Amino acid sequence: MSSLYCQTLGSGDTDLVLLHGWGLNAEVWRCITDRLSSHFRLHLIDLPGYGRSQQSIAQQSITQRSVDKQYGAMSLEEMTEIVLQNTPKQAVWLGWSMGGMIASKAALIAPERVHALITVASSPCFTERPDEGWFGIKASVLRGFEKQLSIDFQQTVSRFLALQTLGSPDARADAKKLNEVILSCPAPSVEVLNNGLQMLAENDLRADLTHLNMPFLRIYGSQDGLVPRKIVPKLDVLLPNSQSLIINHAAHAPFISHSVLFCQEIISFITDR
């Protein structure tokens, strides 16, 4: 089993798995752990190839180059399987952005393991599909980030983070917090980051998610430039058994810009189950 970095906080009766987004690590949740840990037992995970999970693998006598190669060619299903191996047998799963896609895949692979699913600023299909009237990130934008990563790693990641906070009430402060998260842990390799961009570009879980039966909450930011609010009514129709919430004036990281409201909604959704 591939061991991932996981920190457990809190003493609640319900396990809550938290999955971060592209380029980051579990430290991104620190702004809300105090509020949530009094209600739930939190499991903060660095995804495969990200943050301290690189060190966890290296401690198993695997070279860093082998780690980068392994995780730089990993499919969404393979990454999700590794996360499942490192999480409680029964939990609520909350995933932000790319983490939301992984949490959704976990619910599809092992629905008996996922008591409830929460996705935040995430999409079952991140890329724009003009022929289907589907809104998302233009494929050319993702390809541009892939190309730029090999030229200027730090600036490319910083630019992507700036896009995530654009439109929030205090975008500069929010972007600073995300950059601090990156600097707090080992940075993922270019191979791992490119693989994450490819996962966002290639996967489409829209049809698969119609088969989910567990409680499902989808949270969005009204100003999100990466996951447009225009997809919300489309998913409301496609996934009638799920709930959607749009946080006004929030961008791609509503748990940072609107942490109090965000936590209130999470606590209400889980405790009402």
User: What are the residue numbers of the active site?
Assistant: 97, 224, 252
Token code pair at residue 26: 């579990």
CB 65 within 8 A of CB 88: no
- Residue 220 CA to residue 2 CA, distance in Å, equals 32
Token code pair at residue 137: 């990130």
* Helix spans in the chain (H): 30-37, 53-58, 64-71, 76-85, 98-109, 139-149, 153-165, 171-183, 190-202, 206-209, 231-238, 254-257, 259-271
Residue 10: CA count within 13 A, CB half-sphere: 20
CB 35 within 8 A of CB 263: yes
What's the distance, CA 114 to chain centroid? 16
Q: Any bridge partners for residue 16, and if so which?
A: 42, 92
Token code pair at residue 69: 């190669």
CB 24 within 8 A of CB 52: no
